[in-house]
Amino acid sequence: MAHVFHVEFGINDTPLTRALENGNYASAERLILDCTNPSYLDEGCYQRTPLHICLCGVDQDAERVIARNFYLARLLIEGGANINHRVPVTYFGSEFLSPGKSCLELLVDYYIDLTSRTSQYAHNCERYGNWSSAADVVVGMDKDYLLTLEDVLDNVLGLIFIVLSNGGDPNMADEKRMTGLHNVCMHSQDVRLLQLLCENGADVNAVDVHGNTPLLALCDLPTAQQCDSFDDFSPTSDDSFSTASAPVGVNLTFLKFLLRIKDVDVNHQNNLGRTALFHCVLRGDADSVYMLLRSGADPNLKGSVWETRKKKRELSPLLTMFLSVPTQRQLELKDTHYCLVNAPRPFAHLVDAGYFSTVEVEGELSELLEQQLPEFSHLRQHTHQLVHLMFGGTTCTLQQLAARQLFKRCLVESTEYLCRILPVATIQQRFSPEDLGEREVYEEYMELVVNHTVLHGLVELLGLPKDTLLHLEVELLLQRLGLQVAGLKVHRPDPTDPAVSDEDASSDDSSYSVSQEEGDSDLEYW
């Protein structure tokens, strides 16, 4: 069923709205107190209703900052103004742009502006941005000008409580079906508003057009405006290696609060099948992953990523480790072998604890070996051990760790042994240790040169125990699998991206499935 907004039109400029627009608050107060018809308090020129003027903070041309007056807003609410009233925003009265803002949405937006995150990598950011009482004039509910940020926040929370207590809809959604709870989880760093909304009827499982609940909105990767982690991988970027390897952390205070709510759906999947757990693995945030797993998150639920603009592929959270923000950034700053070996390391203790040792995860690995990596199909009988040998920490055996070092020193850092196993001049010239520092060359080397024959030759050449071959094959599998997954895209590739083939970019979008619910027309909103 199409989502329908309930809206009303206000087109009348009134003495009250003129007084408010001109900053004549004494006259506006008298008009409000003397009003006997509550519907008069909702009259205004389109979106500029009395409540909107008191709370929006800008003039009617959106060019000049004006005072927010919480005192008059409280009087309007007590006088019977419709607190859920909002007027659609249109393009010259025809094209629908948005359903407009209710007073609750305006207050939530303002609170978010005051408490938004200032750092994309830290759990505990600097408290808030630089707020000035001179630049942002606010009249409090007690009719006094507010001089400190804490006073402003307390008044916003108090007014929101009054709105909710007088029938304000905590689940009112915007044109993207995002509620106040979605926006607070995505942008704010102050848990008090999240708590207030949840305690007053906000739906913790409300779904927006992308299929995200507030929990998913919290864990979802930041938007391009907040984080360029998937855009700036260049070696010339300002990021140091330590910064690049840092996780994009979820606000743990918010996450703890949401997970304590009895009805929260920790395993909800959005339109791409992604869960909160999937997103936290993409962030490289092991703390959040642990909290979700402890709260019942299912490690078997797969989410979609992109092979091309037209082709998606499903991955479980375990394999998503190779697509995490830290790993993707490190791939441009460090050698590929190092990055792929270390991609699972932040989550190794969770693998050791058995969270990912499930029949479904082992089945996913077995299917990959059979269909996409048939060279390793003989390892299918060891899928239970493979999870720990490739992704584990303490459960990764000493023999496997020794094979990992052997693989690195004999086949990556030096090609001396390769030259003795495969005495082919072309290979020796093409794949020097220096050349293997380039990702494309390294990928070609792992795909076309290093194989079972080379590994067997290395074991024979060094006189190693025969079972060493199995562990070397596991290391090669880790590299092949990591390269394959790390080449996928979290976001749908842009058709202008030079990495996208002409055939893919020009193909008809009809094969790209879009949820029917995402295609609502303007008429359905009206």
Q: What is the DSSP string of 254-290?
A: HHHHHHTSTT--TT---TTS--HHHHHHHHT-HHHHH
Q: What is the DSSP letter of 438?
A: S
- Please check whether residues 42 and 185 belong to one and the same domain: yes
Q: Classify 65 as helix, strand or coil.
A: strand
Task: Give me the pLDDT at residue 244, please.
Answer: 57
* Model confidence, pTM: 0.86
In whole angstroms, give the CA distance from residue 394 to residue 350.
Answer: 10
User: Would residue 92 count as lying in a domain?
Assistant: yes
User: Would residue 199 count as lying in a domain?
Assistant: yes
Task: Give me the pLDDT at residue 248, please.
Answer: 85
Residue finishing a domain among 179, 203, 227: 203
Residue finishing a domain among 203, 228, 247: 203
In whole angstroms, give the CA distance from residue 493 to residue 303.
Answer: 17
User: Would residue 238 count as lying in a domain?
Assistant: no
Pick from 486, 473, 481: which is nearest to 334 by CA? 486
- Please check whether residues 337 and 194 belong to one and the same domain: no
Task: Give me the pLDDT at residue 390, please.
Answer: 96
Task: Give me the pLDDT at residue 100, please.
Answer: 85
User: Would residue 107 count as lying in a domain?
Assistant: yes
In whole angstroms, give the CA distance from residue 202 to residue 100.
Answer: 19
User: Would residue 501 count as lying in a domain?
Assistant: no
Task: Give me the pLDDT at residue 132, please.
Answer: 86
User: Would residue 257 count as lying in a domain?
Assistant: no
- Please check whether residues 338 and 195 belong to one and the same domain: no
Handedness of CA 265, 269, 270, 271 (dihedral sign): negative
Note whether 339 and 332 are within 8 A (CB): no
Q: Classify 90 as helix, strand or coil.
A: strand
Q: Chain centroid to CA 437: how far? A: 31
Task: Give me the pLDDT at residue 478, please.
Answer: 97
Note whether 525 and 87 are within 8 A (CB): no
**Number of domains into which the chain is organized:** 2
Residue finishing a domain among 177, 203, 229: 203
Which tokens belong to 417? Answer: 């042994």
CATH number at residue 70: 1.25.40.20
Task: Give me the pLDDT at residue 415, please.
Answer: 84
User: Would residue 304 count as lying in a domain?
Assistant: no
User: Which residues span the domain enclosing 136?
Assistant: 1-203
Pick from 258, 439, 264: which is nearest to 340 by CA? 439
User: Would residue 377 count as lying in a domain?
Assistant: yes
Task: Give me the pLDDT at residue 509, please.
Answer: 45
What is the mean pLDDT for each group of 10 consecutive residues in the chain (526 residues)?
A: 48 86 94 92 88 92 89 96 85 71 95 73 45 90 95 97 96 94 95 97 96 96 46 45 69 97 96 96 96 98 94 96 93 89 95 96 95 94 94 95 95 88 77 85 92 95 94 97 95 73 47 40 38
